[in-house]
Amino acid sequence: MQEEWGWIIAIYLFLGGLGAGACMVAVFMEFFRKINQCVSSCPVTLVGATLPGPILAIGTLLLIFDLGQGLQKPWLIINLYTHFSSVMTWGTWILTLFIPISMVYGFLEVMDFKSEAWDWLKSRSWIVKMGKFHSFLENFQLKRTKQGIALVSGVLALGVALYTGLLISIVGPAVPFWSTPVIPALPIPILPLLFLTSALSSGLAITVDFVDSVLNHDSHEHMSRLPYYHLAVILVEGLFLGLLLFNANSSGGAAAQSAEAIISGPYSILFWLFVVGLGIIVPAVIHGMQSSRKKRLNDNICLANAVGVLFSSLTMRFVIVAAGIHAIL
């Protein structure tokens, strides 16, 4: 095949996972106040709620650039909503709903985080002039509305993370590597699960690790079990990655060729160095250290680890998309 999905689609899949993961972390922090002791104005929630909208918007723009007609006849994109047997149509709907809803969630989170901003907004003269709207804002239950919207965007974020994997695993016999099942007998594709755990891993990296090291916040003080969750996500991701390659390798044919290209072929350096090294081994060691000792790790190490996790998440998408070899004819 001469014209393939390449870096643009890989970046989109990465951004989709990143945004969805960040949103899921924010919603988790929002609802599990018992675990997250950071009662009011949690900066992790703030970052996790505000980032997904813009991230997914950029990702969607990339998708449109990748379309053959994206710039020539953009009005044809409206047809993407019409054919429900296609996973791409599901994805179009999920993205269309997720981007604005998560942006509203981010806005409400900012307003909740900084109540001065909310008061400032309500005191604007042009809002005061609109009598009914002003009284609506005065009686507006910010926290409760925010939590409702957080729930909706959390569900949609789960949809985004799963759909990015389902999109390429649904092609079935054409690209056998992508549709590798969890267990050979069970026809559930492994890619949606792998992409979900990878999304959570990169979402945790961009929220918890970034906030801790850049904003000098200490999430672990408020949430003692956080390193364990982090470690669990990374280990499950490693398990799925191993299962994917093992099952693909043992099923033979084109799937085995794909697995070989990743393990020992042209993508082996990218895979072992970045995907396994930066994405699984290094964060597993760092979060293992965080969970075993009470002392805080160096901020710069945490930041470097987070950047590494993001990069590995991108590389993993690229390697999987690029290694999708067609069934042998």
Chain residues that interact with other proteins, rule: CB under 8 A: 1-5, 66-70, 72-73, 76-77, 79-80, 82-83, 85-89, 92, 168, 170-175, 324, 326-327, 329
Residue 74 or 148: the one with the smaller Cβ distance to other proteins is 74
Q: How far is the CB of 245 from other proteins (least distance, A)?
A: 20
Asked if 310 and 202 count as a contact pair (C-beta separation under 8 A), the reply is: yes
Residue 67 or 236: the one with the smaller Cβ distance to other proteins is 67
Residue 54 or 70: the one with the smaller Cβ distance to other proteins is 70
Q: How far is the CB of 68 from other proteins (least distance, A)?
A: 2
Residue 40 or 72: the one with the smaller Cβ distance to other proteins is 72
Q: How far is the CB of 150 from other proteins (least distance, A)?
A: 29
Reduced 3-state DSSP string for 57-115: HHHHHHHHHHCCCCCCCHHHHHHHHCCCCCHHHHHHHHHHHHHHHHHHHHHHHHHHHCH
Residue 94 or 282: the one with the smaller Cβ distance to other proteins is 94
Q: How far is the CB of 286 from other proteins (least distance, A)?
A: 37
Q: How far is the CB of 329 from other proteins (least distance, A)?
A: 6
Type of residue numbered 17 = G
The residue with tokens 């690790």 is 209
Any long-range contacts for 306-309 (C-beta under 8 Å, 24+ apart)?
306/205, 306/206, 306/209, 306/210, 306/213, 308/278, 308/279, 308/282, 308/283, 309/201, 309/202, 309/205, 309/209, 309/278, 309/279, 309/283
